[in-house]
A and B are shown apart, each in its own frame.
Chain A
C-alpha cells in the first residue's frame, strides 16, 4: 500500500456535521472576554448562510471548568449535560453545537462514558428526573462551532470581499492555527483531522487564501491548566506554556494567530501583553503583538464586517497591523466609541506593547 504523506494524514479523520437546524450552547469564557464573537457566529450561520440555529435563554454552563479543576464530580457534570440535552429536545432540535472546546470535550466525554458505562447514563437520567423532572434524548449530531465554519468555509469564501492576502506584497498571510487540547486530544476521532494534524482551522486558512505556519510547538497546550490559571499563585504555568509557543512561532513571522478554543484565544492575546510588561518583549512587528482572532472573527472580517462592531477593540493585542495588511479601511476614531458614537474615552496604553 502506498504510504500516505504526512500532511494528508488529517484526511483519515472526518466527521458528520449536520447541514442545518442547530441548538446553540454558549461558552462561559467567550461571553465575557470576546463578547461579540458568539453573536457574530450566530449572524454568520443564520444571516450569511441561511441556516436555522436556536439560542436558548434557558441554557447554562456545562460546568467543564469546575469539573477539570476538581471541585465538582463527574456525576454533576453529566447531569448538567443531560439537562442541556433535555432543553434541546424541548426546543425541537436534534443537532447540538457548542461554542467552547472545553464543552465539546465535556459533551464528548459524557457521551463516551455513557456508551462504555450504561449505568452512568441511567444514574444521570434518574438524577435529572429527580432534580428537575426532565428527561432527554441524546443528540443526533454533536459538533463544535468551528466545525460549522469549517463545513461552510467554501460558502464563506464565495461571499467574502477579501482573501487572506497581504494586499501590498501580494502574498498569502502567514497564519498560526491553535486548536485547543480538548478539541481532539481526548477523542481524536471526534475532531476534523484528529489530534496529530487537526484540520479544522487549517482548512479555513487554506480555503481563504492564507498560508499555514508549521512551527515546532504548534500542538503544545496554551497553558490554561484549569486550576493553574484560576489561582493567581499558579498562573506562571499558563504564562510559561504560552511563552514557549510564542518563542517557537516568532522566527516564522506570523501575521495572525487564529484560535479554536475560548481560553486559548484569551491566553494567546493577554499573555503577549504580560510578556511585554515583564520582559519588554513583543512578538509582532514595530512594537505590536501578533493579533489573535477567533475563527468567526476572521470570517467576519473577510465578509466585510466593521472590526469595531465585531468586538476587535476588546482584544488587548491591537488588530490594526492585520487590518492594514488585509487592506481593510477602518476609522480609528470609532474604535472605542459606544452605541451611537458615544464617547467612552480610551483604555490606558500598556507601557511597551503598542495598541492604538
Chain B
C-alpha cells in the first residue's frame, strides 16, 4: 500500500461505514475504509438482507400452501432447504460485490484488515493478528457495528445453540426450535422456521412480543403468528439450557417462578446485540463508553477530537438505516455543512415476520407518557379493497396525533407489505405535516396505502369506509 495519508479513515464497512465513506468522497475528502471481513457488514452479509431472502422463500411457500384459496393447483409442494440457503447467500454475495464497486467508483481506498486506533490521527491495520501498516487521517470514524449479545448460560455454541450466523445457514431443518427473545431478529427467524414447518416456541421476558412496538400492534401480530402455528410465551425467562447429544432441554420460568421444561432440537439466542468496542484502542485514548457503546454527541463526535463513532457501536437504535444517516450527518458536520442532529423519534422500524410490522415515532403509551393528549386513528385491513383482493385481510394501521397541534406523533402498522407503506408516514413526519395535509393528500385507489389515509381520517372522526 503506497498511500498512507488520508483526510478520513472509516473503520468498518457495514452500512454505516460504507455509506459514510461514499458521502465523504462526494464531499471531496480523501477517504479510506478499513474492513476485516465483509464489505456491507453484518447487515448485508449476515443480517437484514439474507434474512429477507429466506423470508421471501417462506412467504412464497406459504402462498403455495394457500394456492387453492386463489383458485390455483399446487400439488406435492415442498422445499429444498439447501437451495433456499444458497439463494440467500447468493443475494448477499451479489450486494457485497455491489458495495465494493460503489466504493471503487467513488475512489474510496479499501484497506483489507482490522483497524485499531494508535493515538490521535493514526490507525494500525493488522491482518490475521499481525500489524501490516499504519495509516494517518485527520478524521477517524469508528463504525465497527455490533454482535449478538451472549447471556451467561445461553451462549451460542454454533451447533445446538445458534446465533443469527448459524440460523441463516441451517444444514437441515430441525424439527423443533426455541427462540429466545422476540425482538426483530428473534421474531423473523421464528416466523421463517415456523413457515418451513418447524415447531417453534418463542420466549420473551417482556409483557409483549416485539417490545418496542405499540402494544395493540404487538397483540395483533401475536394473534396472527399464533394462528400460523407459532408458540409464544411472554413474561417468561429461559433459566437454563441443558445440551444433549442432538437436542437441548430448556428450563423456562414464568413470571410466578413456575418452571417447565421444553426439549428442542435447536435454540436460537436472539437476546439483542452489543457494540463492538473491544480491541479498538479506545482505552489508550480515553474514549468514553457507556453500556457497551461509544458515547457521542449529536454529530458523532467522541470526547476526543478527530475521533468519531456512528451506527451500532455508537448506541441504539441499532438499525442499518440509523447508522447510514448518522454517518452522513457526522461527515457533513466535519465538512462544515449545515447538518442537523438526527431526530431519533423519526427512525422507522420494520420487522419482516408474517404478518409484517412497521412503525415510526411514539407508541400510544409513550405519547401519553410524554404528556401528549392524543387522537388515535385505526383502520383494519378487513375493510380495504386491495387487501381483500390480495387475500391479506388481516392487519391494522394505527396513527397517533397530538390533539393540540395535529402533529403526527406515531404510526404503527401490522399486515401485508406494511414495511413498504411506513415510509409515507416517515416523510409526513419529517416534513412536519399535520392531520390536515394528510387528509388532503390523494391516495391512489386501490392500494393498501388508502388505509393510511383512512386511519388519519378515523383519528378525527371522519373515516369513510368503516
Same assembly: no
Show the binding face of B for A, using Cβ within 8 Å.
none
Show the binding face of A for B, using Cβ within 8 Å.
none
